[in-house]
Amino acid sequence: MDGIVGTMATAAGMFAGTNVDDLIVLTVLFLSSRATGRPRAWQIWGGQGAGIAVLVLVSVIAALGLTIVPDDWVGLLGLLPLALGVKALVAAVRARGGEDTAPPAVATGLLSVAGVTIANGADNVSVYTPVFRTVGTAATAVTIGVFAVGVVLWCLAGSWLGSHTRVIAIVERYGQWLVPAVFITIGTLIIATSGVLPRLF
Residue-wise pLDDT tens digits, 112-147: 888 878 877 767 888 888 888 888 888 889 999 999
Given a cut of 50, is residue 161 above it in pLDDT? yes
Given a cut of 70, is residue 172 above it in pLDDT? no
- What is the CB-side half-sphere exposure of residue 74 using CA atoms within 13 A? 23
Residue-level pLDDT at 67: 47
Instruction: Render pLDDT for 85-116 as a digit per residue (tens, 0 to 9).
Output: 788 788 778 776 555 444 444 567 898 888 87
Mean pLDDT of the chain: 78
Residue-level pLDDT at 149: 95
Residue-level pLDDT at 105: 43
* Percent of the chain at pLDDT exceeding 90: 16
Residue-level pLDDT at 82: 80
Given a cut of 70, is residue 7 above it in pLDDT? yes
What does the pLDDT average to over 160-180? 69
Reference 92, options 31, 28, 20; nearest CA is 20
Helix, strand, coil percentages in the chain from 3-state DSSP, rounded to 5: 85, 0, 15
Residue-level pLDDT at 104: 41
Any idea where the domains of the chain sit in the sequence?
A: 2-193
- Model pTM score: 0.67
Instruction: Render pLDDT for 33-88 as a digit per residue (tens, 0 to 9).
Output: 877 777 888 999 999 999 999 999 988 888 887 544 555 666 676 777 688 778 87
Q: Tell me, what DSSP letter sits at residue 201?
A: -
Residue-level pLDDT at 178: 65
Burial class (CB in 10 A: 0-12, 13-18, 19+), 134: middle
